[in-house]
Amino acid sequence: MGALHEGHLSLARLAHSLADEVVVSIFVNPTQFAPHEDFDRYPRVLQADVEKLGNDNHADVVFAPTIQEIYPAGFATRIVMNGPAEGLESDFRPHFFAGVTIIVAKLLLAALPEIAIFGEKDYQQLLVIRRLVSDLGIPANIIGAPILRESDGLAMSSRNAYLSPEERKVAGKLNVIVSGLCARLRAGETIPAVEKSGAHAVLDAGFSSVDYIAVRDAATLAPITSLDAPARVLAAATLGKTRLIDNMAVT
């Protein structure tokens, strides 16, 4: 959605290593924001984004449509998903994946890429898009790219710019807590105990609220009771007025 940082640029570099031509879409998608969320203040710096993509040859084409081009008058289509779209983000942002799926479907159909790169920071979104592409038969191979982090481990995000200097110090603790939870799970601690203590740890670190600390199956995001298959710890918490998410593989 623009306000590109090094995490975004790493997606384009990965795409260039796998494809001859790279298209980067930039579109602040109104349908994935609720009325009380930050659509109006979400950073929009298209010219700077284009320069970043062009100066280092990250992209061959930048596709930056207007809202009217994507959602013309009379637009009436909505995508409703279950499976990996259920729970977690949907419990707190019930509008979110309906907006994400329709815009991703439109962008993929516009470009018809052989591959499409999505960051693992939005891990649930990545699995939702994989399911969407499979279910609708869109001929694109969806590839997840590793999370890029700041020096203290905070996952790179355009919303990090909202954080005050004091909040920024607290924000870096989220990754440390999630990493510690993964270690405790590997050591044999039960999943309910880890989830409960993780939520307390995030609040004790100075976050305003916790939406979830959850251990889920890494392939489906279904709730699990043991580590018989690869798992993921996913976290969402609010610091001041900024909502941050993170996740990490357990096994």
Q: What are phi and psi of 128, to 5 degrees?
A: -65, -45
pLDDT number for residue 22: 97
Q: Could you give the CA distance from residue 103 to residue 71 in angstroms, rounded to a whole number?
A: 9
Over residues 171-190, the pLDDT tens digits come to 999 999 999 999 999 999 99
Residue-wise pLDDT for 151-176, tens only, equals 999 999 999 999 999 999 999 999 99
CA angle 44, 22, 43 (to 5 degrees): 10
Domains present along the chain, CATH in parentheses:
6-145 (3.40.50.620), 158-249 (3.30.1300.10)
The pair of three-digit structure tokens given for residue 76, joined into one six-digit string: 């009436």
Q: Are 160 and 245 in contact (CB under 8 A)?
A: no
Query: For residues 117 and 15, is the Cβ–Cβ distance under 8 A?
Result: yes
Q: Which residue has the tokens 């040859």?
A: 57
Go through the chain and tell me how many residues it has: 251
208 token code pair: 């305003």
Q: Which two tokens stand for residue 140?
A: 């694109």
CA distance 151 to 5: 14
Q: How far apart are CA 105 and CA 79, in angstroms?
A: 9
User: Which residues lie across from 118 on neighbouring strands?
Assistant: 144
pLDDT tens readout for residues 21-37: 999 999 999 999 999 99
Is residue 8 part of the annotated active site? The answer reads yes
Question: Which of 8, 16, 95, 200 is an active site residue?
Answer: 8
List the one residue out of 237, 149, 232 whose CA is nearest residue 194: 232
Q: What does the pLDDT look like over 37-76, one tens digit per residue?
A: 999 999 999 999 999 999 777 899 999 999 999 999 999 9
pLDDT at 110 over 90: yes
Amino acid found at 97: F
